[in-house]
A = this chain, B = another copy of it.
Amino acid sequence: MNHGFVVWFPHFCAKIVINMPSISQKGQLMPESPIRKLVPYAEEAKKKGVKVIHLNIGQPDIKTPQVALDAVKNNTLEVLAYSRTEGSETYREKLAAYYAKNDIHVSAKDIIVTTGGSEALAFTMSTVADNDDEIIIPEPFYANYNGFATAVGVKVVPVISHIDSNFALPPIEEFEKLITPRTKAILICNPGNPTGYLYTREEIKKLAEIVKKHDLFLIADEVYREFTYDGKEHYSILQEEGLENHAIVVDSVSKRYSMCGARIGCLVSKNETLTKTALKFAQARLSPPTYAQIASEAALETPQSYFDQVKEEYVGRRDLLIQELKKIEGVKIGVPQGAFYCIVELPIDDSDAFAQWLLEEFRLDNETVMVAPAAGFYASEGHGKNQIRIAYVLDKENLKKAVHILKEGLASYIG
C-alpha cells in the first residue's frame, strides 16, 4: 500500500521515502476543460502586451436585467439562512408560471431548484443511472457532460451528428443500434451547445418514441430555450404528450438572463418517483444559494423587450459571423439556429495545435484570437479535430475583427 515516491539528495547519498496517499481512478479519469490547457498560452500572450480576443467563452457580455440586480441590492435579510432544499416556494410557483407562458405545463412540485444547470444534470445522472450504466448523447456535445458522467461513473455513448446537416438529429436507427440493457437515458441539448442546432418537433417526437419503446429517460438541457432564430420555435420535451414519465428537463438562469454567476438552475419532471429521488441527492447539499434565488425570482419579471433586444443582438452577431466566416476559403459552417455557438470546420488537421499557435505565434497589429478546439466536445476519439467552436458573445466590431484575424492566421498557418 505504499504509493510513496523517492527523493535522492545526491550530496548525502541518502534516500527519503515521501508517503503519498493515492488519488481515485475516477479523479485521474476526470477530463480537464478542453479550453483550460490553452489558458497559459493566452496568459503568456497577454503578459507580452498582445490583445487576445476571446471567441472561446460562453460568458455573455449582455447586461443582467436590472430588476434582478435591484432585488439583491434591496434585500432586507438579517440572517442569510438556508432556503428549502427544493428551492423557495414562491420562486418555484413563479417558475411554473414562466413555463406555462412557454406552453410547458408543470407545477411547483415538479421543479427542484438547483445550483446551476450543472447540479440539475448531476442529480439527473445519479438518479437515472448506476455505475457503468450508459447514456446516449448526440455528439458534439457540451464538454462538461463528460465530466459529470465520469464523476458519477456513467458511460457516455456518443452518436455522431454532422456539420453538413448543421448537426441535425442523427437517424433514429443509429440510437437504436446503441441501446443495451445498461442504457438508461438519451441526453440532448436543445438548442445545442456547441452546435447551435434547434431540434424540430418531428425530431423530438422520434426521440419520444424510442425512449418510450425502450423505457429510457429522455433528458433535455434546454437552457438556451429563449435563443432561437429565424422565426423558429423551441419545442420542449415537456410539451410532448405521453412522455410525462420519461422527460427530464435541465434548465438554468445563466444564459437566459446573463446571470452565469448566480448558479441557479432547476430540474423539471412530471415523474414523481424521479423528482422524489433527485430530492434526496439535493437534501445532502442542503439548499441552493439564497441571494441567487432572490435574483432569479426577480429576473422572472424581466420585460419581453429585454429578450427581444438580446435576440436581435445575437441574430445580428450570428449573421455577421457567418458572413465573415464565408470569406475564409475552405471552411464549413454549422449554421446556428439557436444559442450563441457555432462549430466551424477548418482546412487543418489539428485545431488544438492551431489554437495554440494562434496564441503563441500569430499576431495581427499585436492582436490574436482564442478559439475552443472542438475535439473536447466529442467523445469519439479523433472526431472534431479539424473543428473549432466559436461563441458569439462579444460585440460586432470585435467579432468582425476576430474573424478577420482568424482568416489571416489560417492563411499564414497553412502557408
Chain A interface residues (CB < 8 Å from chain B): 1-4, 18-28, 30-33, 36, 59-64, 68-69, 72-75, 77-83, 115-116, 118-119, 122, 126-131, 133, 144, 147-148, 151-153, 181, 184-185, 211-212, 214-217, 245-246, 258-263, 271, 273-274, 277-278, 280-281, 283-292, 295
Contacts and interface: CB of A to CB of B under 8 A. Distances in A.
Contacts of A151: 126, 152, 281, 284
Q: 9 closest pairs, A vs B, by CB?
A: A261-B290, A147-B284, A30-B280, A291-B291, A27-B277, A118-B285, A263-B289, A289-B289, A80-B261
Given A30-B281, A116-B285, A147-B281, 10 more contacts: A20-B245, A20-B273, A21-B246, A23-B127, A23-B128, A36-B283, A69-B77, A73-B75, A115-B263, A152-B152
Contacts of A25: 130
A73 to B, nearest CB: 6
A190 to B, nearest CB: 19
Contacts of A130: 24-26
Nearest to A130: B24
B30 A215 contact: no
Contact of A216 (B21, B126, B212): B21
A62 B69 CA distance: 26
A127 B128 CA distance: 22
A26 B212 CA distance: 23
A22 B80 contact: no
A193 B211 CA distance: 44
A78 to B, nearest CB: 5
Nearest to A127: B27
B289 A292 contact: yes
A64 B80 contact: yes
Contacts of A217: 21
Contact of A288 (B32, B73, B263): B263
A2 B74 CA distance: 53
A62 B122 CA distance: 33
Contacts of A245: 18-21
A280 to B, nearest CB: 4
A164 to B, nearest CB: 31
7 contacts: A30-B280, A68-B80, A69-B80, A72-B291, A81-B260, A131-B131, A152-B152
Nearest to A63: B78
A132 to B, nearest CB: 9
Contacts of A133: 24
Contacts of A116: 285-286
A290 B277 contact: no
Contacts of A283: 32-33, 36, 144, 147
B284 A148 contact: yes
A64 B36 contact: no
Contacts of A277: 23-24, 27-28, 30
Contacts of A260: 80-82, 286-287
A131 B80 CA distance: 36
B290 A184 contact: no
Most interface-central of A24, A133, A246, A295 (chain B CB within 10 A): A24
A32 B281 CA distance: 9
A26 B297 CA distance: 32
A100 B122 CA distance: 35
Contact of A212 (B19, B23, B214): B19
Contacts of A274: 23
Contacts of A259: 80
B82 A78 contact: no
